[in-house]
Amino acid sequence: MTTKPPNTKVCESFEACEWKIVKSGKCNCAGRKQRTVKCFDRMLNTESNRCSESTRPNKTMPCQKPPRCWNVYRNCKDAQRYKHREDREYMMNLHGIKTSIYCHNMTTKSPVEYLTLPKGPKENYSYYIRLRAADANQCQNSSRDWEDESISYGATHYSKIRINVNTLQVYMNDYEFTKSSGTKQPFGTGGDCYSNTARCPKGEFSINLEDTAFRIRSRTAWETAGVKSVIQFLIPLKEPYQKVRARCGGYCGSCFVSRNTNLYLEPKPAHEMRNP
């Protein structure tokens, strides 16, 4: 019968042994988390008892408290009154719901609030396309289609959107947390100069508020402007009012949130909240 080798082995020297963190717990409301620390012989990859106690890592370490532990504020200036000066997410009570809001410029006298978009830039973008059809009176892709550098084209992807925490209006021209190529494009807009047919728009926008506590106000509308401008909804704005995506264009043409409605958010109904 083969004898089972021991779980530990005495190292030849202290230098061959080192402490390793083998498990790290969750952060508690005191802002600390527990860690399991063990000594290993790094040459033989076995546990040991020869590590120097003077180099043992602490069993606890500081960490950021989970959202459930945070104080609840009304806005970023309210958080400043409690000596907070760090740009990060803060728990706030907005229109009767508790939700996480990102505070920016917290070291200044004018901090601003942003809603982080969990679905990220891939689902929140605005495109104005510079492509033109080889035959503007046709609606078909062609190898002879060409790019018009004179067009103020651009693509902007959003990871956060600035909001007014009192009214929940979205600042569509804020680009602080965006990545762009070409000209920066406002949130919820799109356009192109592709075709004179009003049938094949190439510009596009997408808004996706899933996994936030908000939805788009149901009566929000979009307008078009320009020559033969058109909007085609790929995902129409309907219940639960958290997503909308459309293609827009013309010769040249664009689409944007109607001036009659502007872009406002509203809290999701209580029964739709994942964590009421």
Whether the CB-CB separation of 89 and 53 falls below 8 Å is answered with: no
**pLDDT score of 38:** 86
Report the DSSP beta bridge partners of residue 122: none
Q: Write out the two tokens for 92.
A: 């706030």
**pLDDT score of 43:** 76
pTM comes to 0.74
**pLDDT score of 111:** 98
* 103-122: b (≥16 Cβ within 10 Å) or e: bbebeeeebbbbbebebebe
Query: How would you write the pLDDT of the chain (276 residues) with one tens digit per residue?
Result: 566 666 655 545 567 788 888 888 888 766 788 988 888 887 777 788 888 888 888 888 888 777 656 689 999 999 999 899 999 999 999 999 999 999 999 999 999 999 999 999 999 999 999 999 999 999 888 999 999 999 999 999 999 999 999 999 999 999 999 999 999 999 999 999 999 999 999 999 999 999 999 999 999 999 999 999 999 999 999 999 999 999 999 999 999 999 999 999 999 997 777 543
Whether the CB-CB separation of 151 and 191 falls below 8 Å is answered with: no
Whether the CB-CB separation of 151 and 252 falls below 8 Å is answered with: yes
| Lookup result for tokens 């046709």 | 138
Whether the CB-CB separation of 128 and 151 falls below 8 Å is answered with: yes
177 to each of 165, 250, 260, how far by Cα in Å?
A: 17, 29, 26
